[in-house]
């Protein structure tokens, strides 16, 4: 049987002189120390609970809820910590190709191929053709060793949340040995 953690502030040492000599009061104070020590330990280390790199594993989901990241599908502890720690940076990049690629890379461990319909250019002459495709669209393809192992619905949900809001999209899961476009 392991002994409970020692309190950093034992109550027995803080009893007034009248109670310090009483055996029952000392044992009672020791019992309170046993119950109070874990609470004091948590309060002393409270700042670590709010840092994704240091927080207890069971606290990560709660932190993830605070910063708006879904951790249920992420099984690896290191990936869950990284997702909670980088959530604010990903929210700033949400709706951009960089943000979409980072979200897919974090969730699936592969860098996606992203093809957008838009474009930007400049011209010294008026009436030059517009760049890109006139029909808006976004294509996200991931190349993995085993396409059947990828949860396509989860990938579609992730892309729907991280894409530019106005763009329709398609998602493809390809074998990494197939020809690249």
**Tens-place pLDDT, residues 52-105:** 888 888 888 888 888 887 766 656 888 888 888 888 888 899 889 999 999 999
Q: Within a domain: residue 6?
A: no
Asked whether residue 68 falls in the same domain as residue 136, the answer is no
The CA-to-CA distance between both ends of the chain, in Å, stands at 64
Domain count, the chain: 3
Rounded distance between C-alpha atoms, residue 92 and residue 98, angstroms: 11
Domain shared by 16 and 69, yes or no:
no
Do 101 and 179 lie in one domain? The reply is yes
Question: Predicted confidence band at 2 (pLDDT cuts at 50, 70, 90)?
Answer: low
Q: What is the pLDDT of residue 168?
A: 94
180 phi and psi angles, rounded to 5 deg: -85, 145
Q: Are the C-beta atoms of 171 and 152 separated by less than 8 Å?
A: yes
**Which positions ≥6 away from 99 have C-beta within 8 Å?**
90, 92, 93, 162
**Residue 90 pLDDT:** 86
Same domain membership, residue 150 and residue 112: yes
DSSP 8-state class, residue 99: H
pLDDT of 131 higher than 80:
yes
Q: 101 and 172 share a domain?
A: yes
Residue 66 lies in a domain: yes
Average pLDDT over residues 16-40: 84
Q: Does the pLDDT of residue 176 top 90, yes or no?
A: no
- CA nearest 119: which of 127, 108, 128, 131? 131
Residue 2 falls inside a structural domain: no
Residue 26 CB neighbour total at 10 angstroms: 16
Are 158 and 173 in the same domain?
Answer: yes
Domain with 177, as residue range(s), is 97-181
> Mean per-residue pLDDT for 132-157?
91
- Are 82 and 106 within 8 A, CB to CB? yes
Same domain, residue pair 73 and 148 = no
As a whole number, mean pLDDT of residues 113-121 equals 87
Q: What is the pTM of this model?
A: 0.67
């Amino acid at each position: 049987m392991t002994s409970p953690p020692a309190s950093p502030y034992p109550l027995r040492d803080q009893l007034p002189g009248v109670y310090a000599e009483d055996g029952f009061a000392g044992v009672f104070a020791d019992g309170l120390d046993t119950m109070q020590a874990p609470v004091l330990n948590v309060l002393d280390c409270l700042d670590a609970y709010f840092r994704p790199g240091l927080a207890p594993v069971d606290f990560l989901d709660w932190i993830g809820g605070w910063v708006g990241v879904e951790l249920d599908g992420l099984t690896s502890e290191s990936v869950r910590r990284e997702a909670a720690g980088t959530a604010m940076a990903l929210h700033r990049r949400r709706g951009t190709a960089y943000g979409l690629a980072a979200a897919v890379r974090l969730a699936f461990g592969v860098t996606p191929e992203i093809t957008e319909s838009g474009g930007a250019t400049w011209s010294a002459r008026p009436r030059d053709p517009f760049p890109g495709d006139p029909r808006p669209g976004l294509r996200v393809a991931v190349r993995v060793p085993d396409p059947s192992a990828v949860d396509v619905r989860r990938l579609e949900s992730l892309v729907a949340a991280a894409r530019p809001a106005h763009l329709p999209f398609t998602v493809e899961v390809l074998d990494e040995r197939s020809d690249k476009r």
